[in-house]
């Protein structure tokens, strides 16, 4: 089963004319809702900031799970699910939990393609290198 961007993003909300609040009364957060389009921004960001080794993958996944900065990835939080992730070359604005989960899914696919398994290396003698996934 192939995942699509539409699986991770809701359709743009349709405004009901009876429920429209005048712009002067809208809060800053309310004015931001619905202004972001679900396009390929995550895929484009990942193409320019793809992890080059296993440790960068682990650091990036840590940033996404805990919503905090680590190593070369900086996180600036705006809200619980709304934050900006800055990588080596550019920034990405994560607007909701579905976008965050989509990026984590893309990282899992990338790890499987490169033969990396899991977010942390296994303990023991093999802890200096990532565990290889079994097909």
Report yes or no on 55 lying in a domain. yes
The average confidence (pLDDT) of the chain is: 76
Report yes or no on 75 lying in a domain. yes
- Has this prediction a pTM greater than 0.85? no
Contact in structure between 42 and 92 (CB atoms under 8 Å): yes
Report yes or no on 29 lying in a domain. no
Report yes or no on 61 lying in a domain. yes
Q: How many folded domains does the chain comprise?
A: 1
Distances 62 to 15, 103, 118, 131 between C-alpha atoms, Å: 37, 12, 12, 18
Alpha-carbon distance of 10 to 129, in angstroms, equals 39
Contact in structure between 59 and 85 (CB atoms under 8 Å): no
Report yes or no on 80 lying in a domain. yes
pLDDT (0 to 100) of residue 125: 46
- pLDDT tens digits along 46-86: 999 999 999 999 999 999 999 999 989 999 998 888 999 99
Q: What is the mean pLDDT of residues 11-29?
A: 54
- pLDDT tens digits along 110-132: 999 998 875 454 444 454 555 55
Report yes or no on 110 lying in a domain. yes
pLDDT (0 to 100) of residue 116: 87
Residues in CB range of 128: below 8 A, 6 or more apart: 121
**Domain span at residue 80?**
38-118
Report yes or no on 74 lying in a domain. yes
Q: What is the mean pLDDT of residues 27-32?
A: 56
Report yes or no on 25 lying in a domain. no
With b for 16 or more beta-carbon neighbours within 10 A and e for fewer, the 110-126 pattern comes to ebeebebbebebeeeee
């Amino acid at each position: 089963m192939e995942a699509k961007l539409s699986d991770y993003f809701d359709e743009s909300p349709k405004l009901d004319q009876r429920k429209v609040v005048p712009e002067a009364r809208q809060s800053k957060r309310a004015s931001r809702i619905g202004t972001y389009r679900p396009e390929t921004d995550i895929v484009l960001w990942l193409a320019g900031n793809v992890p080059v080794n296993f440790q960068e993958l682990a650091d990036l996944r840590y940033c996404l799970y805990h919503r905090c900065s680590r190593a070369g990835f900086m996180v600036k939080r705006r809200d619980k699910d709304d934050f900006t992730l800055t990588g080596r070359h550019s920034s990405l604005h994560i607007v909701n939990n579905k976008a965050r989960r989509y990026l984590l899914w893309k990282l899992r696919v990338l790890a499987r393609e490169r033969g990396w398994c899991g977010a942390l290396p296994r303990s023991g003698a093999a802890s200096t290198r990532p565990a290889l996934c079994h097909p």
